[in-house]
Structure 1
Amino acid sequence: MAVIPEISKYYGRHKLFINGEWIESKSASVEMNLNPATGEVISELPNATKEEAIGAVKAAHEAFKKWRDVPVRDRARLLFELRAKLEEGSDELSRVLCQDHGRTIGEAIGSVRRVIENVESACSALYGLAKTNEHIEQVARDIDQYLTWEPLGAFLIVTPSNIPMHAWSSFVPYALAAGCTVVVSPSRQDPIAAEYICRVAQEAGFPPGVINLVHGGRNVNKEILVQPEIKGVGFIGSNRAGWELFELCGRYGKTSSINGNGKNNFVVMPDADFDEAAQGLLRSCFGMAGQRCLGVDNVIIVGDRYDEFKSKFIEAAKGIKVGYGLDSETDLGPLVSQAGKDKVVRWIEESLKEGAKMVVDGRNVKVDN
């Protein structure tokens, strides 16, 4: 067993990042953040006050006035520096994901790699935006046509608990490349991951106010989104929260990119290599403890080999090693929270009452310390 050292057992009280400064929240509402693998308190999370949330919006709005005019090459330089910082800190970021989210170290390394790739893609998109501007002479008599892409302003970015860093990189680098600024509101279930990636971005040298970070969940998100300076939202999370934000965007005329829950099918064809397919399904079903929108919910066996494949998959599932993600031999880490686990167990029990049949029961699995 190769156990990778923890970064720290206790990170202290989280701060808010507003206008380039880490500030102590004045909020009296504080939650305890736990390491999902050990149950230990690893940080204290204050929920931002209304005044603090609005302060972040004002900072993003003021920063936008200058950031939108920063030359493309200078924006690109900062994004490339962000990429370099992410590469430099990838080991530390991966271990933070294990402790704050519950990932296995392999999954965490892969997630950080996706973050880096998103920044690379944003760099490419930055130059692509410049090329998509169009000028057509004489589109009609004595009329020329110009198409110019312009940044809109400050955006709210809401990231979920299952992919706290990856979701950040799915929005923030692209917004910055386009000349927009952001207020990031991460999930309260893994705030350390959100803070770490924000600190990396700060080290890359972005001007104050271009990136801001506040904590607080739905109430804070709504308060931010209704501010006139916020032009829209980028969201990944639950359907319920997504519909609430989408309704607000419609009411207040905001731009939105809303990504809710996903359901996916895994189809096994009659000529498939069943050993390979079983291993692929294992990763699809149990990767990140099933906490991802690309995970598999339904398995469809084409042909008359259902029982054969079912046996292969059950055998593979029984071989999964459950444990702390910092143990390199662990295949399956914990769900991000006790509430999340309780919900999954409740779904299982309700399914059994409705006639489902249990073939592998992992509800009371014993984990070696």
Structure 2
Amino acid sequence: MTQKHVKVKNHINGEWLDESNGHYVPLCNPSTGAVIGEVPISSADTARQAVAAAAVAFPAWSATPLPKRMNYLFALHQAMKDNLEDLAQSIAVDQAKHISEARGEVGRVIEIVQMACSIPALIQGETLQGIASNINGRVIKAPLGVFCGVAPFNFPALVFGWFIPFAIGTGNTFVYKPSTESPLFMQKMMAILVDIGLPKGVVNVIHGEKETVEGWYDDPNVAGVCLVGSSPTARAIAEGCGRHGKKTMLLGGAKNFLLAMEDAPMDLLIENVIASGYGSAGQRCLAVSNIAVVPEIHDEFVERLIDAARAVKVGDAMNPDVFMGPVISAKARDRISNYIEIGVDEGANLVLDGRNPAMPKANADGFFVAPTVFTGVTPDMRIAKEEIFGPVLSVLKVGCINTGLATLNAHELGNGACIFTQNAYYIEKFIAEANVGMVGVNVGICAPHPYLPFGGIKGSLVGNNKVQGKDGVDFFTQNKVATIRTVDPAGQVPTAGVANGAVRSCVAS
């Protein structure tokens, strides 16, 4: 089926707009390598225009009664359910996430929006009675203004869900920059927001690179910036925003560990390693990358892992019969292939090489890397230390739970880690001592439910603000404190100009 050529547009203040500077880059289908559209690289002026529109919309939107704001989220929730397949197809085309996983991503965002519909319960303030005679204190959770967000290519729907429903539900307005490599989901999502009647300027979408958003740092209309991306990018945004006192929510890179103990349920372990390491072609922030295995099961695990990885069917993301689609771009494919060469040069054992897999003619120009496995990996190797972001697994042999924990805790990143065991002592020790933000037990992907916060620690999180759940509500609000003295009109001498009759009438009654 031929993909219609798409000209991606910005959406500012209720209007779909071409980029005024005329600068566009090609949009490719990673499954075929074909150019399927063009994406604007917006100027800093365009970014400022979007922020200005959001700033104009903020006063009226923040003053909109909370139940009415929730009605928009309810409508969004229903519209996403009604359009799930169309939204998933857009992800499978430009991001090349396998169609089944694309459906799962959209389904998770629907759950996140559902959770955001509970904002009225989470935004309630606090009252302290009797601070002094007739004096009470009150804490109000108030919106701040305009927030801006930058999304990566790998989860175009999920990151929308982490940012926008919480931001607008709490009364803020938003400017969102999707990845230029996967913009189609947000084109459809913005159309849905228009269809449900969201007031113009509340959500605005622009496209571009880092230069597009650098003007946000000193824009007085911007209250804060959100990012899911690499750790270096997160640090750069933190520095830029920090100079101007802006809030930031910045999720960075990952190098996730899985520790397999001697009593690990082997069938479940292999199934989860394959799903975690090769699902989405390894392009997940919670994909397992380093697998630490104790000697008792090391050889059996490696043998079964290689057999299972060889059986993974790689192909077009739109083909329901395959398990794993391509990586996002030719550049990503080449970078991953280079890391495989680095692993060989470092002395690791390349027991399964996924470079240059044979593909059908229709996908011969796609950006494919098949499942890859290294054994004999040591913690000092680059393939064990650096984020490859592709379908490459490194197996490390560790002596026991203590050496396994020491290995993962020594890594500078701390996004997620999982343990496979049936031993309660191991489980509790791992939960207590694994120095990561998200822990999994007998699961390959330790993604928290939307009710709970999502985010790492150490180099995987710049600052301390995480996404979704109550953390998302807290980030997009500020605590406004009121000190209130109440005065009994009956005990006061009325001053000139006061409607004395009304006061006396009230007292007399």
Give the structure-2-normalised TM-score: 0.69
Question: 1:281 and 2:273 equivalent?
Answer: yes
1:143 to 135, 149, 163: 135
- Structure 1 position 141, deviation (Å): 4.5
Question: 1:221 and 2:198 equivalent?
Answer: no
1:122 to 102, 112, 116: 116
Which secondary structure state, in structure 2, belongs to the residue aligned with residue 312 of structure 1? Answer: helix
- 8 Å CA contact retained: 1:324, 1:334: yes
| Map 1:35-54 → 2, pairs under 5 A | 35-54=29-48
Instruction: Provide the C-alpha distance between the structure 2 equivalents of 1:125 and 1:95, rounded to a whole number of angstroms.
Output: 30
Which secondary structure state, in structure 2, belongs to the residue aligned with residue 148 of structure 1? Answer: strand
2:200 to 204, 208, 213: 208
Q: Which runs of 5+ in 2 are unaligned?
A: 363-509
The amino acid of 2:328's aligned partner reads V
- 8 Å CA contact retained: 1:155, 1:181: yes
- Structure 1 position 52, deviation (Å): 1.6
| Map 1:1-369 → 2, pairs under 5 A | 9-129=3-123, 131=124, 133-368=125-360, 369=362
For structure 1, which segment, 161-170 or 8-17, has the greater mean C-alpha deviation from structure 2 after superposition? 8-17
**Which position in structure 1 is the counterpart of 2:490?**
none
The amino acid of 2:116's aligned partner reads A
The amino acid of 1:244's aligned partner reads A
- Structure 1 position 50, deviation (Å): 2.4
Which secondary structure state, in structure 2, belongs to the residue aligned with residue 68 of structure 1? Answer: helix
State the Cα RMSD in Å.
Answer: 1.3
- 8 Å CA contact retained: 1:134, 1:148: yes
The amino acid of 1:102's aligned partner reads A
- 8 Å CA contact retained: 1:104, 1:332: yes
- 8 Å CA contact retained: 1:48, 1:220: yes
- Structure 1 position 243, deviation (Å): 1.0
Instruction: Provide the C-alpha distance between the structure 2 equivalents of 1:30 and 1:193, rounded to a whole number of angstroms.
Output: 18
| Cα distance per residue 1:191-230 (max 9 Å; x no partner) | 1122122222222211000000011121111123321100
- Structure 1 position 339, deviation (Å): 0.8
- 8 Å CA contact retained: 1:158, 1:185: yes
Write 1 or 2 for the structure with the bigger share of helix: 1
- 8 Å CA contact retained: 2:44, 2:213: no
| Cα distance per residue 1:105-130 (max 9 Å; x no partner) | 1110100001111111111124321x
**Which position in structure 1 is the counterpart of 2:453?**
none
- 8 Å CA contact retained: 1:72, 1:127: no
Instruction: Provide the C-alpha distance between the structure 1 equivalents of 2:44 and 2:213, rounded to a whole number of angstroms.
Output: 10
- Structure 1 position 286, deviation (Å): 0.8
- 8 Å CA contact retained: 1:155, 1:234: yes
**Which position in structure 1 is the counterpart of 2:456?**
none
Which secondary structure state, in structure 1, belongs to the residue aligned with residue 107 of structure 2? Answer: helix
- 8 Å CA contact retained: 2:8, 2:38: yes
Which secondary structure state, in structure 2, belongs to the residue aligned with residue 331 of structure 1? Answer: coil
The amino acid of 1:50's aligned partner reads A
**Which position in structure 1 is the counterpart of 2:390?**
none
Instruction: Provide the C-alpha distance between the structure 2 equivalents of 1:10 and 1:32, rounded to a whole number of angstroms.
Output: 14
- 8 Å CA contact retained: 2:259, 2:293: yes
- 8 Å CA contact retained: 1:275, 1:312: no
Instruction: Provide the C-alpha distance between the structure 2 equivalents of 1:302 and 1:179, rounded to a whole number of angstroms.
Output: 51
Write 1 or 2 for the structure with the bigger share of strand: 2
Instruction: Provide the C-alpha distance between the structure 1 equivalents of 2:8 and 2:21, rounded to a whole number of angstroms.
Output: 12
Q: Which runs of 5+ in 1 are unaligned?
A: 1-5
For structure 1, which segment, 298-307 or 149-158, has the greater mean C-alpha deviation from structure 2 after superposition? 298-307
Instruction: Provide the C-alpha distance between the structure 2 equivalents of 1:212 and 1:225, rounded to a whole number of angstroms.
Output: 18
Which secondary structure state, in structure 1, belongs to the residue aligned with residue 106 of structure 2? Answer: helix
The amino acid of 1:95's aligned partner reads Q
Give the aligned length: 361
The amino acid of 1:115's aligned partner reads V
**Which position in structure 2 is the counterpart of 1:3?**
none
- Relative to structure 1, the CA distance from residue 262 to residue 126 in structure 2 (aligned partners, 3 Å threshold; closer, same or farther) is farther
- Structure 1 position 303, deviation (Å): 4.5
